């Protein structure tokens, strides 16, 4: 076991790969734009192929494209020549990844891809290779050296290829006008999807489930309303139905500490006036930020006239998987 400065070695790897990405960015040219245009014009699916470490990178690139508005999937080139080639159909587009540009399993597929009239984009470190010369567009992902001290293990080259895939995916999604809502629809089961798809209207309590009392009510009436509705708060409305105050579980404790007579006090004496509120069309995730920023556990949604139309608390957001 050699004694080395492990932190220094780690930094050296990251610095080397960072420089490689910078060089990759500097040499992007019109070929990259044409590759993006091919992706945008594709009426079928984008099929990504690659062997070994390039295959792992290809799987990630295909997943990124698929989640950002470009239907895509990965096909193992070794399996493709044994039946999986049927997954590639006219109208599709192929992205082939090979650092050498001479991977046998990929070269076997090239005549078939060409015969089917399917556009081929290559990602390779050797643009003058067989793959590079066959492709409609060849994206140069070459690097000066691998981070591996023997210059053998795919490290810097796979990082460069992954970066090129991300560059394609992001450029194309921007060109498509792919929105936050579009992204959320691709991720309905995850935290990202919930944060981008769930609005206040989806989790708030409405109508008779809202805890509300009229201005001038006894504090005991407000406490009964809080207990009945179970949200740890009640809103106070004026005769016109506008929200003018809020009273919470925390305010109850403060009232007791201030020796306020709960039996005789009027809600207007102890409520928090002009409380913070939200709208039904606000993203629930934005309400979480509001609550955290102002250390509050619940609030009301109001209409443009400041009339309460819903109520929610931190527990509602937790149940929705937002908090």
Q: Are 118 and 131 in contact (CB under 8 A)?
A: no
168/150 Cα distance (integer angstroms)? 30
Q: What is the model's pLDDT at position 276?
A: 92
Q: What is the model's pLDDT at position 181?
A: 65
Proportion of the chain in helix, strand, coil states, percent, rounded to 5: 50, 15, 35
Local confidence band at 187 (pLDDT 50, 70, 90 cut-offs): low
Q: What is the mean pLDDT of residues 19-45?
A: 95
Tokens at 283, concatenated? 């993203």
Q: What is the model's pLDDT at position 245?
A: 95
* 192 has pLDDT over 80: no
**Any idea what DSSP says for residue 134?**
H
Local confidence band at 12 (pLDDT 50, 70, 90 cut-offs): very high
Q: Give the right CATH number for 200-319 from 1.10.1060.10, 3.40.50.11900, 3.30.750.24, 3.10.580.10.
A: 3.10.580.10
* 189 has pLDDT over 60: no
Average pLDDT across the chain, whole number: 90
Burial label, 21 (beta-carbon count in 10 A; 0-12, 13-18, 19+): middle
79 versus 104: the higher-pLDDT residue is 104
Q: Are 124 and 131 in contact (CB under 8 A)?
A: yes
* 120 has pLDDT over 70: yes
DSSP codes of every residue in 164-221: HHHHHHHHHHHHHT--HHHHHHH-TTSHHHHHHH-BHHHH-B-GGGS-EEETT-BHHH
Q: How many CA atoms lie within 13 A of 140 on its CB side?
A: 16
* 65 has pLDDT over 90: yes
Burial label, 59 (beta-carbon count in 10 A; 0-12, 13-18, 19+): middle
Q: SS3 for 298? A: strand
**What's the pTM value of the predicted model, to 2 decimals?**
0.66
- The Cβ of residue 152 has, within 10 Å, a number of other Cβ atoms equal to 8
**Any idea what DSSP says for residue 84?**
G
- Which range among 128-132, 144-148, 189-193, 197-201 shows the weakest confidence by mean pLDDT? 189-193
250/71 Cα distance (integer angstroms)? 51
Q: What is the model's pLDDT at position 85?
A: 72
Max CA separation in the chain (angstroms): 90
Tokens at 233, concatenated? 């708060």
Q: How many CA atoms lie within 13 A of 143 on its CB side?
A: 27
181/179 Cα distance (integer angstroms)? 5
222 versus 196: the higher-pLDDT residue is 222
* 309 has pLDDT over 90: yes
> Domain-by-domain residue ranges, the chain?
6-178, 200-319
- The CATH T-level fold of domain 6-178 is Rossmann fold (3.40.50)
Per residue in 229-268, pLDDT (tens digit) is 999 999 999 999 999 999 999 999 999 888 888 889 999 9
* 193 has pLDDT over 80: no
Q: What is the mean pLDDT of residues 142-171?
A: 94
Q: What is the model's pLDDT at position 184?
A: 60
């Amino acid at each position: 076991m050699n004694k080395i400065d492990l932190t220094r070695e780690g930094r050296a790897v990251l610095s080397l790969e960072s420089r490689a990405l910078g060089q990759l960015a500097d040499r992007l040219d019109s070929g990259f734009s044409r590759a993006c245009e091919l992706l945008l014009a594709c009426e079928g699916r984008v099929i990504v192929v690659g062997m070994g470490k390039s295959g792992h990178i290809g799987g990630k690139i295909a997943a990124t494209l698929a989640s950002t508005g470009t239907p895509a999937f990965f096909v193992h080139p070794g399996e493709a020549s044994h039946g999986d080639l049927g997954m590639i159909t006219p109208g599709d587009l192929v992205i082939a990844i090979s650092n050498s540009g001479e991977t046998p399993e990929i070269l076997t597929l090239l005549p078939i891809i060409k015969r089917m009239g399917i556009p081929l984009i290559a990602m390779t470190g050797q643009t003058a290779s067989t793959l590079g010369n066959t492709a409609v567009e060849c994206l140069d992902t070459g690097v000066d050296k691998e981070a591996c001290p023997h210059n053998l293990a795919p490290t810097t080259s796979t990082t460069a290829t992954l970066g090129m895939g991300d560059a394609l995916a992001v450029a194309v999604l921007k060109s498509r006008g792919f929105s936050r809502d579009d992204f959320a629809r691709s991720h309905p089961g995850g935290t990202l999807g919930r944060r981008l798809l769930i609005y206040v209207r989806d989790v708030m309590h409405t109508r008779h489930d809202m805890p509300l009392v009229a201005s001038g009510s006894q504090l005991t009436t407000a406490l009964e309303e809080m207990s009945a509705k179970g949200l740890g708060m009640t809103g106070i409305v004026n005769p016109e139905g506008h929200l003018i105050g809020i009273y919470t579980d925390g305010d109850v404790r403060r009232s007791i500490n201030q020796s306020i007579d709960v039996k005789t006090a009027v809600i207007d004496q102890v409520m928090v006036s002009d409380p913070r509120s939200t709208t039904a069309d606000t993203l629930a995730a934005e309400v979480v930020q509001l609550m955290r920023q102002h250390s509050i556990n619940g609030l009301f949604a109001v209409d443009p006239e400041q009339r309460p139309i819903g109520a929610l608390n931190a527990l509602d957001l937790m149940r929705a998987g937002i908090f």
